[in-house]
């Protein structure tokens, strides 16, 4: 057990490694540059916004990432800390 014990947030966190097609990767990098977010931060914001509808479809409606959120700085790409 880590010092201070386990908390629900740490236990529920997910770290993922994804491979995207070249087209999707280019789009993601362009959007990242335009928003000032890293690709990892942008994907985290999208994951935060996605919702599962009753019919099984996924939706991530229009949103503006909060660039002042401390969450933006908690993203660590795999292999980096």
The verdict on pTM exceeding 0.95 is no
The residue ranking higher by pLDDT, 81 or 5, is: 5
Burial of 59 (0-12, 13-18, 19+ CB in 10 A): exposed
Which backbone phi and psi does 50 adopt, to 5 degrees? Answer: -65, 140
Residue 41: CB atoms within 10 Å: 21
Q: Which tens digit of pLDDT belongs to each residue from 29-77?
A: 999 999 888 898 889 888 888 999 999 999 988 878 777 765 554 554 4
Quick check: 42 and 31 in contact, CB under 8 A?
A: yes
Q: Provide the H-helix boundaries in 1-81.
A: 8-12, 22-35, 39-49
pLDDT at 23: 97
What mean pLDDT comes out for the span 7-32? 87
């Amino acid at each position: 057990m880590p010092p201070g014990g386990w908390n629900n947030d740490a236990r529920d966190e997910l770290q993922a490694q994804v491979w995207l097609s070249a087209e999707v990767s280019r789009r993601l990098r362009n959007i990242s540059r335009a928003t000032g977010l890293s690709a990892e931060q942008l994907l985290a914001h999208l994951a935060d916004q996605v919702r599962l509808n009753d019919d099984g479809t996924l939706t991530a409606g229009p949103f503006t990432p909060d660039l002042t959120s401390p969450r933006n700085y908690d993203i660590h790409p795999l292999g980096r800390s």
